[in-house]
A and B are shown apart, each in its own frame.
Chain A
């Protein structure tokens, strides 16, 4: 038996509304809101980055796992906004939570799938017995070029999970995983570029939909389960529309998807997107609930997971701030000028 023994989420407090961005670029806010099914997004403050969000999420995960950082044997951070091009994010995270020094540590990158990759690897390492506790974090302070459609959705947040075979501590057991990939360049960022580029509508059918459908269908086949067997499902959520549509195409109902569907008020947290959705589900799940999760990373691939919630979930849900609480309460709205300053979009002399 292997699974999640602790989880945590961190979402920054700042938000910007779609209207505020649209106003700046003379764009039509209602059509963006309708098209993306998204009304606002989280904004990282100037002192917030993937590392800081990941540290806070990891501290919550440790608290829920009831272990100390020194017991962690592997630390993986999946992101496409690692603050350094060369130098790991994971070492800062590991030092900050005390997971030093006998620890395996690496940064992952696979567009928005980097977080689920880290989860996948930690599950494998825990199951094989190579590590007792593996910490997997998916998080981003996502980039979107000013004025680009991505700017309306690119958001910030991290989710952390600790994987182990410790039966008494597992709060969600992994029953099946499946990974599915091909070389499909729908979205990319070249080295030394500030913002990613994308293939517009090419990011849809041959990219997001093909891979999420591929990974989810395969795991359903593998497990012999059907959509109605699940209480919850979370699919990668680059906008509000895609996860709902892919869920419907696969035979899932809106009610199953809604709990982990954070994007309408969070935005797209890239590597944090489906992992954060999973934390929101775990916050409210009941023992015995079945959860379907499928990530998507451009380039392209999907990892799917089937989780079964255990009795321990009740003991840990209230130990740390819940995802939905962080999302819905104590928000601080910023204007476009402040947002541009926070995100270093203002040109200054060096």
Chain B
């Protein structure tokens, strides 16, 4: 993995930086150059995604691609954040057997990919099942 490719995505992956349209309030993640249907990006304002949400759907991957060989089995899902934005990410700290659609999760900072033994480490968000009664940040 050439470092520029993952480095460029740091604001999104590290800090959930997204955009919100000042006209229609649509949220775009990752950020775009133009708002759909307008050919114009001037209405897109910086916006940070919330850290909490619920599981919209998920799967447990038994047959992984090469770069996730050591991680299988692992759970990937789509999380619907509290503002309604949906993002895809891994759901960590679970074997996936007890998960349900609608279950509360929070996003945590995790190592997402490692480029072999020698390459760069790519960090980003993963969802973890929310612990009842524990405040999230």
Contact = CB atoms under 8 A, between A and B. Distances in A.
Interface of A: 13-14, 45-49, 51-52, 55-56, 59-60, 62-63, 83-84, 92, 95-96, 98, 318-321, 325, 329-330, 332, 341, 344, 348, 350
Contacts of B34: none
Nearest to B48: A98
Given A13-B93, A96-B109, A329-B131, 18 more contacts: A47-B90, A47-B92, A47-B126, A48-B111, A49-B111, A51-B121, A51-B123, A52-B108, A52-B111, A55-B109, A56-B109, A63-B137, A318-B135, A319-B135, A320-B137, A330-B131, A332-B93, A350-B117
A96 B123 contact: yes
A45 B92 contact: yes
Nearest to B113: A47
B116 interface: yes
Nearest to A84: B121
Nearest to B112: A47
A52 B112 CA distance: 10
Contact of B137 (A52, A59, A95, A344): A59
Contacts of B24: none
17 contacts: A13-B93, A45-B92, A47-B90, A47-B111, A47-B112, A48-B111, A52-B110, A62-B137, A84-B121, A96-B14, A96-B15, A98-B15, A321-B131, A321-B135, A341-B70, A344-B70, A348-B70
B39 interface: no
A60 B134 CA distance: 12
Interface in B93-126: 93, 108-112, 116-117, 121, 123, 126
